[in-house]
Amino acid sequence: MVLTRHLFTFCGALAALSLLGIAALILAQIGLRLMGSQIPSADDFAAWGLSASIFLALPAALLHGDHIRVTSLRQLLPARLGHGADILAAGFATGMMAWVAWAIFGYVAESWTYNDVSQGIVAVPLWIPQSAMVLGSVLFALAFAERTLRLILGLPVERDDISEQARGE
């Protein structure tokens, strides 16, 4: 289990690097435009970076308790029933995200088979930027599976801090 935590954190770091890359790319684009030049397909690269950043950070966000869920009903339940509800929720999410990962894999595999390329100035095979979605969604399903297992075994699942969750609001 320690291994998966390192994996999720590593993936989160890749997501952060991707965000850093987006910022650098857009700033470089602004600078170059002032000098009358431009980076070809910069908008495409930034958009792909965002897709990678979102998907690769999904497991790390789960680990930190960042993903929003409605806990008001859950808090009304007695401890044992509440624990049962947690297991049910994590189990449901595992199934749902496993299907999402499978469907995304199918979509990207198709894009690889038909050799779809991007529409911009630089024609890149789309399966390359899309593969971050596959990696992120597979690990996200895995993170939910691990969470379900840990809940069943009675192990801690995340760092709970409600003020951390509020940052996006």
Partner 1 sequence: MTMDILTQSAVLVVTLLLLLGLGIWVGVALLASAVVIFVMFTSTPVDAILGTTMWAHSASWTLTALPLFIWMGEILYRTRLAEDLFAGLAPWVGRLPGGLAHVNVAGCGIFAAVSGSSAATTATVGRISLPELKARGYADRLAIGSLAGSGTLGLLIPPSVVMIVYGVAAQVSINRLFIAGVVPGLMLMALFSGYIAIWSRMNPDGVPAPEDSIPLGERLRRLRLLLPVVGLIIGVIGSIYAGVATATEAAAIGVAGALLIALIGGTLNLSTFTASLMGATRTSAMIGLILLGAAFLTSAMSFSGLPAQLAEIISASGLGAPGLIAVLTVFFVLLGCFLDGISIVVLTTSVVMPAIAAVGVDPVWFGVYLIIVVEMAQITPPLGFNLFVIQNLTGRSIFEITRMIVPYFLILVLAVILLTAFPGIATWLVEQTL
As measured in angstroms, the least distance from the Cβ of 96 to partner 1 is 5
Asked whether the beta carbons of 135 and 58 are under 8 A apart, the reply is no
As measured in angstroms, the least distance from the Cβ of 127 to partner 1 is 11
Looking at beta carbons only, is 69 or 155 nearer to partner 1?
69
End-to-end CA distance of the chain: 32
Looking at beta carbons only, is 40 or 168 nearer to partner 1?
168
Please give the residue ranges that form the binding site for partner 1 (CB under 8 A): 12-13, 15-16, 19-20, 22-23, 26-27, 29-30, 43-44, 46-51, 53-58, 60-61, 64, 66-74, 85-86, 88-89, 92-93, 96-97, 99-100, 102-104, 106-108, 110, 129-130, 133, 137, 162-163, 165-169
Looking at beta carbons only, is 75 or 156 nearer to partner 1?
75
Question: Which residue's structure tokens are 């308790």?
Answer: 65
The tokens describing 102, both together, are: 């499978």
As measured in angstroms, the least distance from the Cβ of 160 to partner 1 is 12
As measured in angstroms, the least distance from the Cβ of 80 to partner 1 is 15
Q: Which positions ≥6 away from 128 have C-beta within 8 Å?
A: none
Asked whether the beta carbons of 164 and 65 are under 8 A apart, the reply is yes
Looking at beta carbons only, is 84 or 155 nearer to partner 1?
84
As measured in angstroms, the least distance from the Cβ of 72 to partner 1 is 5
Question: Which residue's structure tokens are 């069943």?
Answer: 152
Coil vs helix vs strand at 125: strand
Asked whether the beta carbons of 150 and 156 are under 8 A apart, the reply is yes
The tokens describing 1, both together, are: 């289990």
